[in-house]
Amino acid sequence: MDCLFCKIIDGDIPSTKVYEDDFVFAFKDIAPIAPFHCLIIPKVHISGADQITAENSEVIGKVFEAAAKIAKQEGIESFRIINNCGDDAGQTVKHIHFHMLAGVKMGWGPESLGKTE
């Protein structure tokens, strides 16, 4: 399968690893939008949040377990997790991933959606 994030998990494409266990891999986003910005991904290929089922959903809990561990590891007290699903939401890589953002006071509201046209 020609998947960028599967290649990162396999080490075929280099990344800056933040955390890894049997289920998930986390690495620094190449174009950070916050002082701390990593991507947490399941090792199993799931193309997007719209493909989560009763059979594969357990790993999503592992993603959030990893986020809590990463927060402790990095000394992060506040963080935001974002998942984009589908083109209109801005999903550019079709391997489910969770942005973990920290290190800045974040706003909340319609403006946080950015440009919508």
Interactions with ligand AMP, residue window 29-88 (CB under 6 A): 29-31, 39, 84
Interactions with Zn ion, residue window 24-83 (CB under 5 A): 45
Catalytic-role residue among 37, 45, 95, 97: 97
9 touches ligand AMP (CB under 6 A): no
Closest CA to 63 of 37, 94, 42: 42
Name the residue nearer to ligand AMP (CB basis): 11 or 54: 11
90 binds, among ligand AMP, Zn ion, none (CB under 5 to 8 A by kind): ligand AMP
Question: Are 51 and 57 spatial neighbours (Cβ–Cβ below 8 Å)?
Answer: no
90 touches ligand AMP (CB under 6 A): yes
Known catalytic residue at 97: yes
One DSSP character per residue, 32-90 reads -SSSEEEEEEESS----GGG--TTTTHHHHHHHHHHHHHHHHHT-S--EEE---STTTT
Closest CA to 18 of 78, 90, 92, 98: 98
Q: How many residues sit close enough to ligand AMP to count as binding (CB under 6 A)?
A: 12
Name the site residues for ligand AMP (rule: CB under 6 A): 4, 13, 15, 29-31, 39, 84, 90-93
